[in-house]
Amino acid sequence: MPIAGISRRTVLAAAGATAAVAATGLATAPAARAATPTLPDGTSKDKVLVVGMDGLRHDRIDAAKAPHLKSLMANGTYGRSLLYANPMAATSSGPGWSTISTGVWPDKHGVKDNTFTGKNYARYPGFLARLHQVRPELSLFAAVDWPELDTHGTVTPGADAKLVYNNDYAVNDLVIADITEDILRHQNPDVLFVYFGETDEIGHNHGAASPEYTAAIDVQDGYLGRLLTAIKARPSYATERWTVIVTTDHGHTDGGGHGGSSIEERRTFVLAQGPGIAAGARPIDTRLVDVAATVFHQLGITPAASWGLDGKPVQERSTDPFDSLHGSLTGRVDETGIPAGVLGFTRTAPSGWSVINNAMGTGGMTEWRGWSFATDEFWSRTQRDQSRELNVRARGVFAVADSDEWADKTFSGTYDSTLVTPAYGVSGATRVTLDFTTFYRQEGSQTAQIQAVFNGGTPTVVKSYTSDVISQPQSLDVAVPAGASSVSFRFRYTGSNNWYWVIDGVKVTAS
Ligand SMILES: [Zn+2]
């Protein structure tokens, strides 16, 4: 229905069908417009609005008018990435919003689908719950019309006031926009998490390729615009430092639907504008877990290591050497399932790094003949549903040794390739620490070893993998021999039509 023409009676009737809940515990007023809750007066000049748009496939924003989303992209940082898929979690709203709210991946927050079975919000609470814990003086607001985000405790715990409506999105998204706008204009909230669901509903009913879908994006863009206007109209706006973050929980197929492992279903983004966040930036290392980390950062809160967050603020770039290859990535050579326009691999190592392939077999898929450097989209498009979608703790470009894909074209010999780091100075140090993330799938006689080489001498094995490690941070602490002045590490993978090994985020620290 046309938003401008929506009747007050319609809004009241629909909103009255569900409860608007004020955290004061007062009974709900029957009229939604009258139910604007009263928040405690805010205490922070740093303020954050998070707007969640369900099932918003970012590559369809271009086709919409969406002036406010496009303005945020021009004036903020826009990081696009892919989600996990099963068996880690479905590309569904339960896992998606849990990832956004908690700032950790499903293997930590435990939500794998919309049953929410296995949720572990006690250990990994949503960011509003965490803020309420560490800064109880903040004024916190949440509004959702997918009520599961309240009943399961995904988003609303910790909020000083919350709106919870049923999933009649065509009506209740507008109610949420109305009341949130009212709060922004007339009260003093510090942090808000506002959810809109109609994009997902229209995606299901008409498909993400439909004009109805881009129209739904425009409707939500209008709500976003009203909230942005309300922020700028605040009498105290000049003395406040607002950050606005827009994000989504999953994508959609062209025909409509999600939950599976297609690239279109896995598409997600974090879009943020605010103090210290670069205008027009398009980082390749942003992931969905970064929303919560950005909220904390913009409020000047340093997350404790014990929180176990997987995210980092959107303005922080990883120092990963592999990401420097992004501009030189090329398209497929022998692969057939990857669209020609997807530029996502190279076999040329970063400056200072090398790959030893003198024992490597011949033939096979060119892309994977020895260690390669690839993006999530390029690598996981090679073959769906072989768990490559679970590479969640890699960011941007990573190193991959994949004997399974290599063996998909006629080859001889075995896969035997060694990735070699630069030499790092260790003079005077007694320990050297190798930090990285790894994703390893074991099969058969496949081997994966990490070797240390001091002063260019004989490699010694410091770590072997013999069973699956599904995208985990690793930290190896190695003793520096007396008199050693340099160390280089080697990642050697051998196999023959087995699985794969991914390395990313390599950092070497001597102490
Ligand atoms: Zn959906």
Strand partners, 418: 356, 492
Token pair of 367, please? 């892309």
pLDDT at 219: 98
Measured in Å, residue 206 CA sits from the centre of ligand 1 at: 12
Q: How confident is the model at residue 35 (pLDDT cuts 50, 70, 90)?
A: confident
Measured in Å, residue 268 CA sits from the centre of ligand 1 at: 14
Measured in Å, residue 120 CA sits from the centre of ligand 1 at: 22
Would the pLDDT of 218 be above 50?
Answer: yes
Measured in Å, residue 258 CA sits from the centre of ligand 1 at: 6
Measuring CA to CA, which residue among 170, 192, 197 is closest to residue 181? 192
State the average pLDDT over residues 111-122. Answer: 98
Judging by DSSP bridges, how do beta strands 424-425 and 469-479 pair with one another?
A: unpaired
Q: Phi first, then psi: what are they for 253, rounded to 5°?
A: -75, 165
For 407-421, b/e burial (b = at least 16 CB within 10 A) is bbbebeebbbbbbbb
pLDDT at 10: 28
Measured in Å, residue 53 CA sits from the centre of ligand 1 at: 11
Measured in Å, residue 221 CA sits from the centre of ligand 1 at: 19
pLDDT at 16: 34
pLDDT at 19: 37
Encode pLDDT of 177-206 as tens digits.
Answer: 999 999 999 999 999 999 999 999 999 999
In percent, the amount of the chain with pLDDT more than 90 equals: 93
Block residue for tokens 């994000």: 247
Q: How confident is the model at residue 209 (pLDDT cuts 50, 70, 90)?
A: very high
Q: Which domains does the chain have, with CATH numbers?
A: 43-307 (3.40.720.10), 321-510 (2.60.120.260)
Strand partners, 270: 79, 247
Residue 232 makes CB contacts below 8 A (sequence gap 6+) with: none
Under DSSP, is residue 29 helix (H, G, I), strand (E, B) or coil?
coil
Q: What is the mean pLDDT of the chain?
A: 93
- Taking phi first (over 0 means left), then psi (-120 to 50 degrees means alpha), and beta for anything else, what does residue 418 get? beta
Measuring CA to CA, which residue among 20, 83, 18 is closest to residue 55? 83
Measured in Å, residue 148 CA sits from the centre of ligand 1 at: 13
Would the pLDDT of 267 be above 80?
Answer: yes
Under DSSP, is residue 80 helix (H, G, I), strand (E, B) or coil?
strand
Would the pLDDT of 8 be above 80?
Answer: no
Under DSSP, is residue 23 helix (H, G, I), strand (E, B) or coil?
coil
Measured in Å, residue 97 CA sits from the centre of ligand 1 at: 12
Separation of alpha carbons 116 and 112, rounded Å: 7
Measured in Å, residue 309 CA sits from the centre of ligand 1 at: 26
Under DSSP, is residue 386 helix (H, G, I), strand (E, B) or coil?
coil
CB 331 within 8 A of CB 342: yes
Q: What letter does residue 305 receive in the DSSP assignment? A: G
Encode pLDDT of 426-476 as tens digits.
Answer: 999 999 999 999 999 999 999 999 999 999 999 999 999 999 999 999 999
Query: Euclidean distance between the first and final Cα of the chain, in Å?
Result: 65
CB 114 within 8 A of CB 134: no
Separation of alpha carbons 243 and 190, rounded Å: 10
Would the pLDDT of 44 be above 60?
Answer: yes
pLDDT at 12: 30
Measured in Å, residue 313 CA sits from the centre of ligand 1 at: 27
Measuring CA to CA, which residue among 142, 130, 241, 136 is closest to residue 183? 142
Token pair of 502, please? 């991914």
Measuring CA to CA, which residue among 211, 432, 145 is closest to residue 219? 211
Measured in Å, residue 382 CA sits from the centre of ligand 1 at: 26
Whether a cis peptide bond, with omega within 30° of 0, leads into 87 is yes
Separation of alpha carbons 347 and 329, rounded Å: 9
Separation of alpha carbons 264 and 423, rounded Å: 41
Measured in Å, residue 93 CA sits from the centre of ligand 1 at: 7
Would the pLDDT of 2 be above 70?
Answer: no
CB 69 within 8 A of CB 273: no
Block residue for tokens 């030499």: 423
Task: Count the neighbouring beta carbons within 10 Å of the beta carbon of residue 238.
Answer: 7
Measured in Å, residue 266 CA sits from the centre of ligand 1 at: 12
* Rounded to 5°, angle at Cα 300 from 297 and 303: 60
CB 143 within 8 A of CB 116: no
CB 145 within 8 A of CB 119: no
Separation of alpha carbons 220 and 196, rounded Å: 7
pLDDT at 33: 53
State the average pLDDT over residues 82-109. Answer: 98
Block residue for tokens 């279109």: 264
Under DSSP, is residue 184 helix (H, G, I), strand (E, B) or coil?
helix
Q: Phi first, then psi: what are they for 81, rounded to 5°?
A: -160, -175
CB 104 within 8 A of CB 84: no
CB 366 within 8 A of CB 338: no
Measured in Å, residue 85 CA sits from the centre of ligand 1 at: 15
Encode pLDDT of 247-264 as tens digits.
Answer: 999 999 999 999 999 999
CA dihedral 360, 365, 368, 373 (to 10 degrees): 140
State the average pLDDT over residues 123-132. Answer: 98
Q: How confident is the model at residue 359 (pLDDT cuts 50, 70, 90)?
A: very high
Q: How confident is the model at residue 319 (pLDDT cuts 50, 70, 90)?
A: confident
Structural element, H or E, at residue 196? strand 191-196
Separation of alpha carbons 404 and 381, rounded Å: 14
